[in-house]
Amino acid sequence: MKLTGSRLWRVGPALGLLVLMVGAMAATGCDDSINSTAAARLDLAPDRFLFPRAQAGDVLVREVELSNGGQGTLKLIEFGRSSYDLDQFSLEWYAGDDETAKSSVFPATIDVAPGDRITLRLTYTPTDSSGARGSVGFRCNDPNKGVVTIPISSPRGGAEIFVQPDSISFGRVPAGATAEETLTISNIGSEALLFDSIVVGGSADFSLRIGDVNVAEDPSVLVDPDGDGQDGLAPEGTITATVVYAPPTEGPDSGELIIRTNDGNRGELVVPITANGAAPCIQVSPPTLEFSAALVGRTTPKPVTITSCGQEGLSVSNIRLSEDTAPAYRIREDFELPLNLPGATPENQPSELIAVEFTPEDEAAYGGKLIIESNDAATPSVEVPIVGRGTINECPVPGVAQASYTVLPLDIIRLDASSSMDPDGSIARYEWVVVERPNGSTAVPHETFFNRNSPADGGRDDDTSTPEALFFVDLAGHYVFELRVTDNLDLVAPSESCPEPVARVEVTAEPNEDIHVQLVWDTARDGDQTDDDGTDVDLHLLHPLGQRWSQAPLDCYFANKNPDWGPPGAVANPSLDIDDVNGAGPENINLDEPENTASLGAPYRVGVHYYRSESFLVGDYGTSAVTLRIYLGGQLIDEFERDLVVTDNFWTVAGIEWTPQERRVVEINRFWDDINQIP
């Protein structure tokens, strides 16, 4: 412990008894006048000087420990900020465990090295029975605290909760390990402390035990937590609770212990919980490097990702193969050591890719270990097993029966990979990957459809053991599919091991109707917009003579899908071909041989209604970003975008003017909060 500076502070100016300052600490940030270190961290235990009620002439002593849980020097200054009655209180301090060296004189700066501590000792000699009041104050270079105020208090009447410590930090705990921290919950009041609940919020990796009982699983343990046969925690009673942390994966975690009681002044007490925060943390994936079958004499690379998962920077000092690793493996040396990655944030976990190459010399199994050493104190050395097998197996060759299609929107195409071959074995898996599609398309390859007359309802997932798949072309536009095949020895083509030519299928979907209107939408809060639960946005096409939306027969929409607007037959009659009610669309309305809008005195109008923003399962999904496209004569003429926020928002998007001389789209862009308010 080092004391610096020549100016000394004798704390406690004779200000008389002051009102108890609110809060254990007032954080104002790090003051530039202190030679600060960002990694310094002040921890208090407990967070206040708490004295029982006492009579004049009693002598009571309480201590608060100030420790440095950071990695830089903690600087403490200006203890003259303390406010209390000098006739009743005296403050001393000492470093480490040496109580004999306690002193009432404070130097200008106290430096506390990482892992060290000082103790503040406050002696209370009451002159009356009014109770202890005041505070001890100072400044520090902890960037999260700055000005610190430690209250001096006595218990009030009724129940009063006191929890120590006031926050819990687990430090660094590796994935798969379990760590425990304890805290004491005391009743320093004069009546029984009753618990309404104790809830662990935030990360699900934290849990709470009282004794051997998990509080979340059996909250009845809170009825009589001290086991004295009476409800609640008795006055002057104390119980010990255990917070358990069991992270399944690496990375920072946070949560909070929310304690609700009958304490009239602190009905809800929150204890912050952090873990894997202010320390370097390494995460390596994959956990095992598997090369499966690699061709003899050919080099096959595999990537390994090194991720920084702690708030402190990660420094990788060594990356090597173990001595017993087969010579067929080598690390591609396209990086420099040390490999330094910055600390992680909730939005970003910095990572770096390295590569291990496998060049088998014959048909045999090869093993080894990749070893990565870093400044992660919990796992300073990470071992990644490596397994691989050499084979003289020849690569499979992907092939497609038809490489291009020109179709109508809403058609079904058959993707056929039966021309694929394997020179010395058999094809085990055929995988169709959609690598390009129109914005808003959500269709995927299927083995069969539940109803071929309504393919938008979905079907059975594609069976990769068969060469054929069906695809519903849900939107107009351009699609590209790539075929990947795997043989019976797990060689994949195309891949780095088998750089065979890519087999592709290209599909162009062009509407042939005079008017084709297309609606898609994206709801950010809906994590899976292809499942059976989601938002419902409706497409409308209003006849030029139509007066109101959602009114048959002149509005074509979900409740009037095939209205009769003209002579018998299809002429001048629209159709809503898809009505999507649970996600991202699409919805399409088609119209052939439109009427002359000039003679009718108005255009066809296109509208969008946010029919339902609520989920059937999880509540309101909120805003949906809507995209509407209008095709005339098979050509995309215009595209419009807008956010719809809540149920019953309505957007009149555009008008379509159709005459013998001219066909055009005219933007209207009128918005109503509620469809029922449209005049």
Task: Check the CA dihedral 69-72-78-81 and report its sign.
Answer: negative
Give the model's pLDDT for residue 6: 28
Q: Do residues 465 and 377 share a domain? A: no
Q: What is the mean pLDDT of residues 646-656?
A: 95
For residue 280, tell me if it sits in a domain: no
In terms of Cα–Cα distance, which of 492, 470, 479, 480 is closest to 420?
492
Q: Do residues 581 and 632 share a domain? A: yes
Tokens of 247: 């992270």
**How far is it, in rounded angstroms, from Cα 54 to Cα 133?**
13
pLDDT tens, 347-360? 788 999 999 999 99
Torsion of CA 510, 513, 514, 515, to 10 degrees: -80
In terms of Cα–Cα distance, which of 344, 163, 311, 144 is closest to 243?
163
435: domain range?
404-509
Q: Do residues 35 and 124 share a domain? A: yes
For residue 281, tell me if it sits in a domain: no
Q: Do residues 415 and 361 share a domain? A: no
First vs last Cα of the chain: how many Å apart? Answer: 79
Beta bridge partners, 162, equal: 186
In degrees, rounded to 5, the angle at the alpha carbon of residue 506 between the alpha carbons of residues 502 and 509 is 165
Does the pLDDT of residue 302 top 90, yes or no? yes
Q: Do residues 527 and 659 share a domain? A: yes
**How far is it, in rounded angstroms, from Cα 238 to Cα 264?**
19
Element (H, E) at 597: helix 597-600
| Cβ atoms of 19 and 85 closer than 8 Å | no
Q: Do residues 295 and 343 share a domain? A: yes
Identify the three-state secondary structure at position 638. strand
Tokens of 571: 């002429």
Tell me how crowded residue 87 is: count the other CB atoms within 10 A of its CB: 12
| Cβ atoms of 124 and 115 closer than 8 Å | no
**How far is it, in rounded angstroms, from Cα 79 to Cα 81?**
5
Identify the three-state secondary structure at position 382. strand
Q: Do residues 266 and 195 share a domain? A: yes
| pTM for the model | 0.47
**How far is it, in rounded angstroms, from Cα 37 to Cα 113?**
11
| Cβ atoms of 193 and 232 closer than 8 Å | yes
Q: What is the mean pLDDT of residues 56-75?
A: 90
Give the model's pLDDT for residue 616: 64
Residue 563, preceding peptide bond in cis (omega within 30° of 0): no
**Number of domains the chain contains:** 5
Q: Do residues 523 and 622 share a domain? A: yes
pLDDT tens, 55-64? 888 899 999 9
Does the pLDDT of residue 207 top 60, yes or no? yes
pLDDT tens, 358-410? 999 998 999 999 999 999 988 899 999 999 999 888 889 999 999 999 998 88
Output the average pLDDT for the chain: 86
At position 232, the amino acid (one-letter code) is G
Tokens of 267: 């009905």
For residue 26, tell me if it sits in a domain: yes
Among 457, 486, 509, give the residue marking a domain's end: 509
At position 462, the amino acid (one-letter code) is D
Radius of gyration of the chain (CA): 36
Q: What is the mean pLDDT of residues 558-586?
A: 80
Residue whose token pair is 């496998």 = 358
For residue 21, tell me if it sits in a domain: yes
Give the model's pLDDT for residue 156: 63
Q: Do residues 520 and 666 share a domain? A: yes
Domain CATH code at residue 334 = 2.60.40.10
Split at pLDDT 50, 70, 90, the class of 13 is very low
Q: Do residues 179 and 84 share a domain? A: no
Per residue in 126-164, is it b (16+ CB within 10 Å) or e — as a string? beeeebbbbbbbbbbbbbebbbbbbbbbbbeeebbbbbb
pLDDT tens, 482-515? 999 999 888 899 987 787 789 999 999 988 889 9
| Cβ atoms of 219 and 158 closer than 8 Å | no
| Cβ atoms of 220 and 183 closer than 8 Å | no
Q: Can you say how many angstroms the Cα of residue 415 is from the centroid of all Cα atoms in its chain?
A: 37
Split at pLDDT 50, 70, 90, the class of 11 is very low
Beta bridge partners, 295, equal: 391
Q: Do residues 311 and 335 share a domain? A: yes
User: Which of 107-121, 230-244, 356-370, 612-626 comes out lowest in average pLDDT?
Assistant: 612-626
In terms of Cα–Cα distance, which of 206, 209, 196 is closest to 259?
196
pLDDT tens, 520-544? 888 888 877 777 778 899 999 999 9
Among 241, 275, 309, give the residue marking a domain's end: 275
Does the pLDDT of residue 427 top 90, yes or no? yes
173 exposure class (CB count in 10 Å sphere: 0-12, 13-18, 19+)? buried
